[in-house]
Every structure is written in structure tokens, then in C-alpha cells.
């Protein structure tokens, strides 16, 4: 399968994430889903990939793709991995569903030199209008109603940046998107999804 054909199957944030990862490095993907990103990185960049996933069907999908996966609840931490065991750790659209947000971010920076985090941007302007109208927002990026959503810790770009500073992390780069299109002007208001490339310290 060609690179172009593989790329079609990746979400916009996963394409950005893949571009940030160097070839032949060690990558850990937390909440890796069906292994789409890691499979792509293995084939196209020759990375040594490991995924962590709790869902049974997703774990089976990873195995079918040839992705090494550990079945584990991320809330239990990453004690099975050594300090700096990886070059990059990815947390893609999973942060907002974590109960202990600070803990998982600290663990990311313990097991890898750099981290890549993507999450829905709650600062997207239609969300504000929805709340003013008396309802929690339901959008393509956050398609759940308030009573059945897995998203328990929604945040804006500034919220995440303040938390990163509190934890002593340095933001290397930030990319923001609305659907498949990258947004650069007034990103805090106009984007639905953010991707941050971070490292511990300065």
C-alpha cells in the first residue's frame, strides 16, 4: 500500500502527529485504539511501536495490524514502562477522558523524552453560544450528550498551556484544526482540535 493511500485513513491530527515523529525511533501510543497510527508509523517510518489500549476489540485490531499492544487501563498509570524507555509518547484525543489528568501527563514525560497530546478545544466559539442557549454543546468533535459523554475534563488551549506550565513542561509546537483544515488565525476561538508537542523542562 502506498503512503498516499495510507494517509487517507489517518485523521488530520494523526497526520500532524506522524509528521512530528522521527524515523527509527521508539514510540508509545496511549489509548491507541485500533492501532492505525502505530501501523502507519511502523510501515512508513520504521519506528519501534508499542500501544496501550483497554478495549478488547481494539486490542484485537492492533494485533491484526501487527502492532504490539499492552491491554491496560491508563488510569492505573504506566508503571510497566521504564524511565525514558521511549523517544516519543502520544496521547491522542484521550486526555479529556482521563480522571487524573496531571498524573498521566507526568507519566508521559517520565517514560519518554517528548510527548504529543491532542484534544478537543472547548473554546471553539459555537460551544459558547450553545451554553448561552442553556445547553451543553454537541458538535462533530464532541458528539455526545452531557449524560453519556466520556469527556470529563474538557479544556481550552489556554487551559492546557497553563497546566503544561504548572507541570514544568515546554511547548515545542502547537497545531490547531477545524475538521481537516488547519487553523492559525484566532485558533483559540476557531479551532475544534489541538495538537501539542511538549517536553519536560526547558
Report the CATH number that the domain containing residue 26 is assigned in CATH: 3.40.50.150
Range of the domain at 149: 3-200
Report how many domains make up the chain.
1
For residue 5, the model assigns a pLDDT of: 39
Give CA torsion, residues 31, 116, 149, 70, to 10 deg.
10
CA 180, CA 30: separation in Å to the nearest integer?
22
pLDDT in tens, 120-176: 998 875 566 566 677 665 666 666 665 666 656 788 999 999 999 999 999 999 999
**Cα torsion 99, 101, 103, 107: sign:** positive
Q: What is the largest CA-CA distance in the chain?
A: 50
What is the pLDDT averaged over residues 29-54? Answer: 96
pLDDT in tens, 66-88: 999 999 999 988 999 999 999 99
pTM of the entire predicted model = 0.87
Amino acid at each position: 500500500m502506498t503512503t498516499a493511500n495510507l494517509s487517507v485513513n489517518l485523521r488530520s491530527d494523526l497526520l500532524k502527529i506522524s509528521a512530528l515523529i522521527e524515523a527509527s525511533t521508539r514510540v508509545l501510543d496511549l489509548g491507541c485504539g485500533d492501532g492505525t497510527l502505530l501501523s502507519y508509523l511502523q510501515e512508513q517510518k520504521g519506528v519501534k511501536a508499542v500501544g496501550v489500549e483497554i478495549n478488547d476489540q481494539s486490542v484485537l485490531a492492533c494485533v491484526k495490524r501487527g502492532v504490539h499492544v499492552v491491554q491496560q487501563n491508563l488510569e492505573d498509570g504506566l508503571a510497566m514502562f521504564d524511565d525514558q524507555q521511549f523517544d516519543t509518547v502520544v496521547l491522542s484525543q484521550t486526555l479529556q477522558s482521563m480522571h487524573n489528568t496531571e498524573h498521566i501527563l507526568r507519566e508521559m514525560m517520565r517514560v519518554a523524552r517528548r510527548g504529543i497530546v491532542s484534544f478537543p478545544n472547548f473554546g471553539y466559539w459555537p460551544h459558547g453560544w450553545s451554553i448561552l442557549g442553556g445547553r451543553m454543546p454537541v458538535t462533530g468533535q464532541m458528539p455526545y450528550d452531557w449524560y453519556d459523554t466520556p469527556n470529563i475534563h474538557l479544556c481550552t488551549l489556554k487551559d492546557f498551556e497553563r497546566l503544561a506550565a504548572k507541570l514544568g513542561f515546554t511547548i515545542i509546537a502547537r497545531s490547531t484544526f477545524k475538521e481537516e483544515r488547519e487553523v492559525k488565525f484566532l485558533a483559540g476561538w476557531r479551532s475544534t482540535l489541538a495538537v501539542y508537542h511538549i517536553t519536560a523542562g526547558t
